Structure 1
Amino acid sequence: MSRVKRKEDIFFTQFKEFSELTVSAAELFLDIVENYSEKADLIPEVKEYETKGDEEVGKIMTTLNSSFITPFDREDISALALQMDEIVDGLENVAARFKLYDIDAIRPEAVDMARLIVNATKHLDIAFEKFPDFKKDASILKHTKAANDVEDEGDIVYRDALARLFREHGDTIEVVKWKSLLDKIEDTLDACKDVANDIRNVIVKNG
């Protein structure tokens, strides 16, 4: 049986729904970058996920403002919701710039990083599935660590991508465009790591 009372269940349900949304958004983003010539027209759908992410934050904040009892500190609930939103915002930010920068082909490192984002969000989703029992289920930390490890792997891909970009590309404008895009993809991976750390902090504070 879950440790939380029925009135507290709603927070965990909302976080899990939000987590599932981040996975779906990450998978859509990956599909776009893997098959850019055929799937670039799906970019507006990433914006739809960004809008849904804002709605999920609104739901959590509304619940928070109307709840006397919460499963952990109110400020941690708020911070976690806002940090999850950074993942979806980051994906939309990059996708929108593909059109803004008139990108006609995706660099392979961007695809690699998109795959890592999917991997990280899936680990976070498992952590959120187990989150209602965070005082008893130590395996949550395994998945937050895995999300952190994915981000560390992303750091290596990101640095190698920049080195290759600066070394091989002679068009300064293209270098500027792709430096910006790679930076923002890396920021999205960082947001995944921040969510993992926020979950871990909740466990440490309330364990």
Structure 2
Amino acid sequence: MNQQQDQLSTLHEIRNIMDRSSRFISLSGLSGVAAGVSALIGAGVVKWYLVTHDINYQQNLSLHLTRESILFMLSVAGFVFILALCSATYFTARNARKTNHRVWDSKTERMLVNLFIPLAAGGVFCAILIYHNLLYLVAPVMLIFYGFALLNASKYTLSDIRYLGFFEIILGLLTSFFVGYGLLAWTLGFGVLHIVYGMLMYFKYER
């Protein structure tokens, strides 16, 4: 019995070593929390803008928003993305130093390439939708492509992020039918889900 337990323990250790050698495992759960908080702040700013300018999100997205409104929303989304990226870099680098792992190596490169290819495609597609005034599809498309990006990157980092990817895709598809709730879905997907995922990953891997 003890010999079997030793063998299982050895196999488990070998698997952990293989995971560490082939996956980027320094990704910090706090980066997800920070990204979620950034998204909530961004959604709050957009909501404030809509209220102060007497814009009904559900009605206006079926018509046309002004160029000023579109640029403002895009600027907020860009700011949220940059803030989330900076926080992810900071917390991941801190976690890597704590666990004596390198921040940048071939594993990091593979993970980022597989993450940003779907993100770039989604960004271009969103620009096409805006060009054709299909604004009501921008929020669900963001969620769907982001979900695919997480699924693609999960092969090279913590596999748990694929569950977040699944939820993002499902939420995006649902929002494609209920387009009037795009802002709410964007807030849930990029805000609430990120915070929940980040806290779960933090307590699972970093505590």
**Shorter-chain TM-score tier:** 0.3 to 0.5
**TM-score if structure 2 supplies the norm length?**
0.38
Select the structure of larger CA radius of gyration. 2
* More RCO (CA 8 Å, sep 6+): 2
**TM-score if structure 1 supplies the norm length?**
0.38
